[in-house]
Amino acid sequence: MIDAAGLRVIKAISDHGSFTAAAASLGYSQPAISQMVRRLEDRTGTVLVERLGRSVRLTEAGQVLARHANPVLAALDAAEAEVAAIAGLRAGRVRLMAFPSSSSTLVPRALALVKQRFPDVHVTFSEAEPPESLAALRSGECDVAVAFAYEGTDLARGEEDLDSFVTRPLLEDEVRLALPLNHPRAKATKIKLSDMADEPWIAGCPRCRGHLLSLADRAGFNPDVAFETEDYVAVLGLVAEGLGVALVPDLIRRSAGNPGVVTLPIDPASRRTVYAVTTPDLQRVPAVAATLDALCEAATAKGVCTG
Amino acid sequence: MIDAAGLRVIKAISDHGSFTAAAASLGYSQPAISQMVRRLEDRTGTVLVERLGRSVRLTEAGQVLARHANPVLAALDAAEAEVAAIAGLRAGRVRLMAFPSSSSTLVPRALALVKQRFPDVHVTFSEAEPPESLAALRSGECDVAVAFAYEGTDLARGEEDLDSFVTRPLLEDEVRLALPLNHPRAKATKIKLSDMADEPWIAGCPRCRGHLLSLADRAGFNPDVAFETEDYVAVLGLVAEGLGVALVPDLIRRSAGNPGVVTLPIDPASRRTVYAVTTPDLQRVPAVAATLDALCEAATAKGVCTG
DNA sequence: ATTTTTGATAACAAATTGTTACAATTCAAC
DNA sequence: GTTGAATTGTAACAATTTGTTATCAAAAAT
């Protein structure tokens, strides 16, 4: 019934003492004010303005509206300012989820970039493997997920539909074989997986284990998985102690290298692609876009970012 | 830019979780909500709602608006309620100015009527002679004036323009001659002013003095005005002490009768009319109308109220 | 008295806000 | 899988609201 425009008009009249001056202060023509007041009076069923020949004065009811105008308009302005701050990257919160091995360098570098450029944009961060991070994205618990897909498999393992997501490739990550330093083949420049068919294997996260099984199958053997752990530092530790060999993405070696371990390219080569993932809607949120950009830039030092 | 309607829509979406439910809760069709959100997003240049297939969720910016919605809408409702209270006579203030001799019975009775009918309407009251009360009405210092005009003269003494006022006759007040009880003519039933040409006179307020001079002139003499006072109780006291005779409106005698004084009709008769005066705008304010009605009713006991 | 200032009104233009009908999508259930 | 109910988006249109210009009438100031 009464809206912000009406209050603005009443307040202008109260402040300036005439319709004409109120109109000028609001950038309207004088008849616009006349009609606005008339409409308000019709709607409220009350006289709001006393016409005294040349000047006007608010009645008690008009003064009531004028008194309420300030808080209401101030609150509206505040709301607008807050939204504008988010739109202008002077505020905003982005909830990022990334898989553990990305946390070591890629994500911290991206967070630093965002913070440097937009100090008031807050990126919160938590670790999760791709299936959970994508589920969190879908359910609204996070805004950006950093996930990966092994060559030839879908990002979401084929089961989830990806149409509802927007993906941005960040970098290509080569999958290498990790051997203990004292292993007989540690000096090779390249290795066939089938050569390792009789070694005990150490597997990483479930998807990595799946990838290992898939590659081994293609190489014609069934690996003996002696240990499984999601913690890649532990994987490398186990390898260093000579308890087995493992497939590890290059990112791991570079960020958490273990001096007792060497990694070699495998033949045929295999890679995984690391993506930043979000939704089409969120992609248009400035703070989210800035985070994606930062991830992209942080990645270019290591890989190719097309975006 | 952002208005109350927009906030209402965002709040409804936040509360109900879908456009359809929000539309139902606001009595709109679903496309109305879709378009409203789209407009808001265009205006703010920000994504406010994440579309997740079947349901929707507010983005951070959307949540900001939803959070501001409550205070703004509550303040608007409060403003509306206050105005409605004034319109519905559950609130309101009327500033009444009346000339002194009306204060004794007419005005108190009217105030009591208003208070009985509309306990939350506050009528404040102050005394002023007609010229000042009308000036106060014009300048906005009061809402209703109780004034009088002697027969044949304008309410505002001819100088002021009455077009800008609305008048409502309350009662006719006969002008009588006050004599001390022991005056030789105290037993007469009617008296010609010319019979009193040689008496000392006591004059009331300036306008009353003017009326005395005018009547005396018509009766062919020039009265010897021995005392002047605006206080009619004093006038009657002076008369009772035999210090002179006076013209007093009947209202005075009835409300402040002095046992040492008799009042007689004069010939030719003279009356004054008591009016309630306000402005056309204020007349439409319910509390003012109620006060006018009460004055009218309070007067019917004594005179004729046409209104 | 005349001029300037101010509000009201009429007629019209433009923007807004809403509706209905229908297409497209999602999600759950069979 | 496939169907079906539920939900959002879009297009076309109608109604309302909101603003402008031109003009009038009244009030104040000179």
> Whole-angstrom Cα distance, residue A236 to residue A238?
5
Residue nearest to nucleotide C8 (CA to C1'): A34
Closest residue, by C-alpha, to the C1' of C9: A31
What integer pLDDT is reported at residue A162 of this predicted model? 60
- Is residue A305, in this structure, part of any structural domain at all? no
Tell me if A23 is assigned to some domain: yes
**Lowest-confidence segment of B48-52, B162-166, B198-202 by average pLDDT:** B162-166
> pLDDT tens digit string along A249-286?
888 877 777 788 989 999 888 888 888 999 888 999 99
Same domain? For B207 and B97 the reply is: yes
Distance from CA of A15 to the nearest CA of B (A): 17
DSSP chain A: ---HHHHHHHHHHHHHSSHHHHHHHHT--HHHHHHHHHHHHHHHTS--EEEETTEEEE-HHHHHHHHHHHHHHHHHHHHHHHHHHHHTTSS-EEEEEE-GGGTTTHHHHHHHHHHHH-TT-EEEEEE--HHHHHHHHHHTS-SEEEEEEETTS-TTTTTS--TT-EEEEEEEEEEEEEEETTSTTTT-S-EEGGGGTTSEEEE-SHHHHHHHHHHHHHHT---EEEEE-S-HHHHHHHHHTTS-BEEEEHHHHHHH--TTEEEEEEES--EEEEEEEE-HHHHTSHHHHHHHHHHHHHHHTTS----
Strand D nucleotides within a 7 Å radius of protein CB atoms: 6-12, 18-22, 26-28
Residue B255 lies in a domain: yes
Residues B275 and B205 occupy one common structural domain: yes
Tell me which of A67 and B301 has the higher pLDDT. Answer: A67
A164 shares a domain with A25: no
Domain harbouring B23, CATH code? 1.10.10.10
- Average pLDDT for chain B: 88
- Among B53, B61, B86, the residue with its CB nearest the CB of A61 is B86
Coil, strand, or helix at residue B129? coil
Q: Which of A87, A104, A138 is the last residue of a domain?
A: A87
The answer to whether residues A142 and A58 belong to one domain is no
Range from A146-160, A215-229, B34-48, B252-266 carrying the lowest mean pLDDT? A146-160
Q: How confident is the model at residue A158 (pLDDT cuts 50, 70, 90)?
A: very low
Q: Which of A250-259, B128-137, B258-267 has the lowest mean pLDDT?
A: A250-259
Residue A160 lies in a domain: yes
Residue A234 forms contact with B (CB below 8 Å) = no
Please state whether strand D lies within 7 Å of residue B232 at its CB atom.
no
| A103: contact with B, CB 8 A cutoff | no
Range of the domain at A9: 4-87
Looking at per-residue confidence, does A21 or B220 come out higher? A21
The domain tally of chain B equals 2
Residue A159's pLDDT band (cuts 50, 70, 90): very low
The answer to whether B229 CB sits below 7 Å from nucleic acid chain D is: no
B57, B87, B117 — which closes off a domain? B87
Same domain, B65 and B155: no
Clarify whether residues A14 and A118 are in a common domain: no
* CB atoms A86 and B64 under 8 Å: yes
Measure in Å the smallest separation between the Cα of A50 and chain B Cα atoms: 6
Percent of chain A with pLDDT over 90: 45
Q: CA–C1' span, B129 to D26, in Å?
A: 29
Are A177 and A196 within 8 A, CB to CB? Answer: yes
Give residue B231's pLDDT band: very low, low, confident or very high (50, 70, 90): confident
Answer yes or no: do B175 and B116 share one domain.
yes
User: Given this model, what pLDDT does residue A155 score?
Assistant: 60
Of residues A292 and B219, the one with the higher pLDDT is A292
pLDDT in tens, B210-221: 888 888 888 888
Q: Could you tell me which chain B residue has the CA closest to the CA of A285?
A: B47
Would you state the pLDDT for residue B67? 93
* The domain boundary residue, chosen from A87, A108, A123: A87
In a domain, A218, yes or no: yes
Chain B 140-159, CB below 8 Å of chain A: which residues?
140
